[in-house]
Structure formats: structure tokens, C-alpha cells
Structure 1
Amino acid sequence: MGLVIQSGDWNAIEEWKFLFAEFLPDLHGSPWESKQIDISGIHYPLVWKPTTGRLVQFLSLGVIMSSAIHRPARHACFLRDLIE
């Protein structure tokens, strides 16, 4: 199960990954710009103003989450409840 994050700088991405890991330890988070993303394994993008056309590259999307409201615990709980 994969999460791709496009929200803020590197520190913000690490914060999101840490907070999601608390609720979903099996979820692997990657930065949006990473060249090593397996696009077939990304199910959950967390984005703020995503690059035009980038989301269509991910073939297995389940839920697209907006990071406009910075509530990592709420996002993580929502996703955990959705998956379970």
C-alpha cells in the first residue's frame, strides 16, 4: 500500500510520513517528486495543488486527500478506517 505526498517542504513530508505511520504502519510514504516511486503501488496521494496531469499517472488510486487542512491525525484515521 503506497502513499505519495506533495505538501510543503521535505520537513513537512517527513512529518506527514511519521504521523501516518503511527496509525498505518504498513503504509509506505514517498515524496511526490521521488523518481523511485512505483506508480502501480500508489493508492493514496496526499496533495496540495498537484502538478497538472500527474495524478493520472497513478493507476491504482483509491482516495485523493487534500493537505489544505493540516490535520495529519485526522487524515490518517480516516484512511485507516477506510482501509480496515
Structure 2
Amino acid sequence: MITIPLFEASVAVGGRFNPQISPMDYIYHITQRSQEAKEGTLFIALCGNRLDGYDFVHEAEQNSAIAVVVEKEISNVKIAQILQS
């Protein structure tokens, strides 16, 4: 298990974050599979040839993910989004 402040994770991936990120939020788990998301999870929305991780952001949110790493902001998502350029 890991414990990283969400702000530090944002800096580590070279992303900027939207206002929902609090300095008191911590990541305890990282995954690219939405069904593995749980409380304290950072979901990485990867895009491949067969699947688009953006299609699974809402499922990760429903499974209590704390934040998602994306290249473009997604509307109707209440969890923090780390925007990677």
C-alpha cells in the first residue's frame, strides 16, 4: 500500500489540478482498472487501441476513487481531476 498526498501525485505526473483537490487528500491505491477502484484510489484513464479509459471514469468515481488522471477535463465528474498535458 502507498500513501501519497494527492497534490504531490499531481506534481509527479506533471499535471495541473482542478479546484477539488485538497492538500489533505491522500492516495492509498493506484489503478488503471475502474472495477479495482476503492476509497483513496487514483484512477489512471489510459487510452488504447481497444478501450478508452475515459469511458470508465464514472465507474471509478462510483467505486469511491478519489481522483482521476486525464488529458482533458471531463464534465459531470465530482472527483478531482489531474490534467496532464
TM-score by length of 1: 0.31
TM-score by length of 2: 0.31
Structure in which a larger fraction of residues adopt strand: 2
Structure number with greater CO (CA < 8 Å, separation at least 6) is 1
Structure in which a larger fraction of residues adopt helix: 1
